[in-house]
């Protein structure tokens, strides 16, 4: 054997071992509280040292030591090292870090949900007698909301501390300095900021500082948008490129903000493609947030495919937050309309879907035959008042582009300038090119205008994008009309009329087509999402280090921007949570979730059940309990409370026996659908099942509640007792819900077919409603 052959045989196993190394999270459960912080880090280091060749290698491999509430560490490990650590007695679990992308997941939304009303003279007189929710909650003052996102633009007027009182004494956090961010950027509104890069840089190498700031500063816009939605100050006379003019405000405008930047640019991709967030970085942020003293966590991050709770960093971190009575709200995701796509399904998390508000940005398209189609856009650019040639993108591609389904997607370099110059181009959504990029391609090829056409999957969801040329977005139904018109004439013509902001649009709300939805794949006996809130075309503050489109080809800078996603609805619910925390400081996180869920609305502003954008019926797998109503949630009458121990017993039942190492599972634990949740899902019912719920009185001291049921089709539901008598606040009453299949042998269309219903308690003042979802075995 030649020396080089021998050398290669020796080297290859080492190279393979290096290639297999990646970041894992080693989780021990809960801290005992008996060790100092440096002792905890030494303790974690000792475990690493037991599997590493040297102390230097152990130190170099450690990314984070979680020392506050979460007990564990993140380190670069080989499969062999993972196996050895997994076999150690005190180690609860070892799981690989998962990269999580943003689930891109307001002047009008708070008014729409009833928090801020347009008041007439008589209403103003009445309001003087009874304070509204904002006043009762002192606008969220003294409540600290932690934003786990991609930073903040601190100079925004939305984060001014003018007139605010001192920082809450409970705050223990810091203002971490970095590039273009120093201690002066924190104030009595923006009371703390941190950033987390170790996981990201372990996988990608040093941050490219041309794409983001090595600091809590936001160079994207997403984090600034979500933070200002929760707790932005009232700022008058704002708009997005002239659209949605008015007063911008967060839902809890005097709440304090703590920023935890965990998301960073995807290497090799433009900012418009989104961000990536590493689990070990997020866990470190949540661990710090718990120690810092936040009351609420808003996390608009998730994956298109959820992980089991034992391997889900957000679920683990949120469980620790819940133990500390911190309410955690998370976005459900933007991977719809397919079923079983939602993320963040843990029952100790408020999982939020996305719906519309009653505002539209009407940008009409007029065809040469006189037909007028109502599109939407927030582009500030205008065409001259004349007709222009109209072309379908698939008919204007360069030679060599296949004439298949993607030909109309306006992918980069696909359009032929000879066929496009001076024309309005119809492009279809989908493919590898984002909506903004399609317009950029039309502009590159010399087009004067751009029509963004929905596919049937998008329905009537019309994104209000700030395109770089005159543009409008139209429904899939209107796409058919446009294409038929193009085929009907040799010289198709069209023009785009400048857009305008329209309020009181109907129907609203409707469910966005992009939302991820149930059924829950991790535990089909927990109904998710929990609730829906405004997430379509939401105006909020924006980073001046970015552009309104986040494209490198867009030179514009804006202070406020319109954005869509469950990322936008999640902070709406987090703001409502902050207000409820202020009014009811002794309520548990479960009680607050229950109050929001059982008071949610099911009808739109024309008095009909909430539909999707195409007018099709929707169900609790899309909206959970319904559209959130903060003013109703402040006085829910009854709540379904759940303790930290209840969650641990729930985990025992589903086979996750060790997220808290100090807790020992009993031999028999309650079934998962007996968790005292404000909704009910029963998967694969064979014949009959009875579950128990316990209601806590938080309304009138003496009250009587009567039950009513709307049974799912094909099932009978009985509630016993049917009347609950309460004689003091805080009193608990249990009741049984028996669900029985009317015909257990009935044929089903598929294994995931569910029927939906409701059970409700009413005392003449409060309507405490819970959704049900049931499927047959």
Following DSSP, what letter does each residue of 188-256 receive, concatenated? SSEEEEEE--HHHHHHH-S--TTTS-SSSB-SSSHHHHHHHHHHPPPEEEEEETTEEEEEE--SSTT-E
| Among 31, 222, 295, 572, the one annotated catalytic | 222
CB atoms within 10 A of CB 454: 25
Catalytic residue at 38? no
Cβ atoms of 255 and 143 within 8 Å: the answer is yes
DSSP state of 266: P
What gap in Å lies between CA 425 and CA 420, rounded to an integer? 7
User: How distant, in Å, are the alpha carbons of 410, 424, 448 from that of 383?
Assistant: 21, 10, 8
Rounded CA-CA distance 27/46 in Å is 14
d(CA 320, CA 346): 12
Q: Is 424 helix (H, G, I), strand (E, B) or coil?
A: strand
Q: How far is residue 617 CA from its own chain's centroid?
A: 23
Closest of 362, 69, 119, 117 to residue 243, by C-alpha: 362
Q: Which residue has the tokens 């169900």?
A: 619
CA 148 to chain centre: 11
- Distance between CA atoms of residues 503 and 112, nearest Å: 10
Burial 288-325 (b: 16+ CB within 10 A, else e): bbbbbbbbbbbbbbbbbebbebbbbbbbbbbbbbbbbb
DSSP 8-class letter at 272: G
Please tell me the chain's helix, strand, coil percentages from 3-state DSSP, rounded to the nearest 5. 25, 30, 45
Confirm if 366 and 495 have CB atoms less than 8 A apart. yes
Tokens 């372990």, residue located: 202
If we measure between CA atoms, which residue out of 605, 663, 602 comes closest to residue 632?
602
Kindly write down the DSSP assignment for every residue of 613-628, as one continuous string.
TTS-B--HHHHTT-B-
User: What's the CA gap between 696 and 659, in Å, rounded?
Assistant: 28
Q: Is 612 a catalytic residue?
A: no
Residue 268's region, left for phi above 0, alpha for psi from -120 to 50, else beta, is left
Q: Is 358 a catalytic residue?
A: no
Q: What distance in Å separates the CA atoms of residue 486 and residue 346, rounded to the nearest whole number?
A: 50
Alpha-carbon span 327 to 152, nearest angstrom = 21
Q: Cβ(142)–Cβ(582) under 8 Å?
A: yes
The closest of 139, 393, 90, 88 to 255, measured between CA atoms, is 139
CA distance linking residue 541 with residue 213, whole number of Å = 18
Catalytic residue among 149, 212, 612, 641: 149
| Beta-ladder partners of 740 | 688, 716
Q: Check 475, 567, 658, 711 and give the catalytic one.
A: 567
CA 175 vs. chain centroid, Å, equals 26
Task: Name which of 566, 548, 567, 565 is nearest 556 in CA terms.
Answer: 548
Whether 695 and 735 have beta carbons less than 8 Å apart is answered as yes
How far the first Cα of the chain sits from its last, in Å, is: 64
Q: Which residues are catalytic?
A: 149, 222, 567
């Amino acid at each position: 054997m030649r020396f080089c052959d021998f050398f290669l045989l020796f080297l290859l196993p080492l190279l393979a071992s290096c290639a297999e190394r990646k970041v894992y999270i080693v989780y021990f459960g809960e801290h005992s509280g008996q060790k100092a912080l440096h002792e905890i880090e030494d303790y974690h280091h000792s475990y690493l040292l037991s599997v590493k060749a040297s102390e230097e290698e152990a130190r170099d491999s450690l990314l984070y030591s979680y020392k506050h509430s979460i007990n564990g560490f993140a380190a670069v490990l080989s499969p062999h090292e993972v196996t050895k650590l997994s076999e150690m007695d005190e180690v609860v679990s070892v799981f690989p870090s998962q990269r999580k992308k943003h689930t891109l997941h307001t002047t009008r939304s708070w008014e729409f949900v009833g928090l801020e009303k347009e008041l007439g003279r008589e209403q103003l007189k009445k309001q003087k007698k009874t304070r509204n929710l904002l006043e009762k909650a002192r606008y969220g003052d003294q409540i600290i909301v932690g934003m786990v996102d991609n930073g903040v633009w601190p100079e925004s007027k939305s984060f001014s501390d003018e007139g605010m009182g001192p920082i809450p004494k409970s705050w223990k956090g810091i203002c971490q300095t970095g590039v273009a961010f120093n201690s002066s950027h924190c104030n009595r509104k923006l009371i703390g900021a941190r950033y987390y890069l170790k996981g990201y840089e372990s996988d990608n190498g040093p941050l490219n500082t041309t794409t983001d700031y090595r600091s809590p500063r936001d160079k994207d816009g997403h984090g600034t948008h979500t933070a200002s939605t929760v707790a932005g100050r009232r700022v008058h006379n704002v708009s997005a490129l002239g659209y949605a003019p008015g007063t911008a405000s967060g839902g809890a405008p005097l709440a304090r903000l703590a920023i935890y930047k965990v998301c960073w640019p995807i290497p090799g991709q433009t900012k418009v493609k989104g961000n990536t967030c590493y689990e070990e970085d997020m866990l470190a942020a949540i661990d710090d947030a718990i120690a810092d003293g936040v009351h609420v966590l808003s996390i608009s991050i998730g994956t298109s495919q959820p992980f089991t709770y034992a391997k889900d960093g957000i679920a683990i971190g949120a469980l620790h937050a819940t133990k500390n009575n911190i309410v955690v709200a998370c976005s459900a995701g933007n991977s719809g309309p397919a079923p079983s796509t939602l993320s963040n399904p843990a029952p100790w998390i408020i999982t939020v879907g996305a719906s519309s508000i009653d505002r539209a940005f009407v940008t009409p398209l007029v065809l040469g035959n006189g037909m007028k189609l109502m599109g939407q856009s927030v582009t500030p650019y205008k065409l001259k008042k004349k007709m222009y040639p109209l072309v379908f993108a698939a008919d204007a591609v360069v030679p060599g582009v296949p004439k298949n389904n993607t030909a109309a997607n306006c992918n980069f370099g696909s359009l032929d300038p000879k066929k496009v110059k001076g024309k309005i181009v119809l492009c279809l959504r989908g493919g590898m090119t984002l909506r903004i990029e399609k317009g950029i391609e039309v502009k590159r090829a010399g087009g004067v205008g751009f029509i963004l056409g929905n596919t049937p999957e998008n329905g009537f969801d019309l994104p209000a994008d700030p395109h770089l040329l005159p543009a409008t977005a139209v429904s899939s139904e209107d796409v058919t009309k446009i294409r038929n018109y193009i085929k009907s004439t040799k010289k198709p013509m069209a023009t785009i009329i400048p857009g305008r902001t329209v309020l009181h649009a109907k129907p609203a709300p409707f469910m966005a087509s992009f939302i991820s939805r149930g059924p829950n794949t991790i535990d089909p006996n927990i109904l998710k999402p929990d609730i829906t809130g405004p997430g379509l075309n939401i105006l909020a503050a924006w980073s001046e280090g970015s552009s309104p489109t986040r494209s490198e080809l867009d030179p514009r800078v804006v202070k406020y921007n319109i954005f869509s996603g469950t990322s936008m609805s999640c902070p709406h619910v987090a703001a409502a949570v902050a207000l409820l925390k202020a009014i009811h400081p002794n309520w548990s996180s479960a009680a607050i979730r229950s109050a929001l869920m059982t008071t949610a609305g099911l009808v739109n502003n024309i008095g009909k059940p909430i539909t999707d954008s195409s007018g099709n019926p929707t169900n609790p797998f899309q909206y959970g309990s319904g559209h959130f109503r903060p003013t109703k949630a402040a006085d829910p009458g009854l709540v379904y409370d759940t303790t930290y121990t209840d969650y641990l017993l729930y985990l025992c039942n589903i086979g996750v026996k060790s997220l808290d190492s100090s807790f020992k599972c009993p031999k028999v634990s309650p079934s998962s659908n007996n968790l005292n949740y404000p909704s009910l899902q029963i998967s694969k019912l064979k014949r009959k099942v009875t579950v128990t719920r316990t209601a806590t009185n938080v309304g009138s001291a003496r009250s009587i509640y009567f039950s009513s049921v709307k049974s799912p089709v094909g099932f009978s539901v009985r509630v016993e007792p049917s009347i609950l008598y309460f004689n003091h606040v805080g009193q608990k009453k249990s009741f049984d819900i028996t669900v029985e299949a009317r015909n257990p042998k009935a044929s089903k269309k598929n294994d995931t077919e569910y029927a939906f219903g409701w059970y409700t308690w009413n005392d003449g003042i409060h309507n405490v409603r819970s959704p049900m979802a049931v499927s047959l075995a």
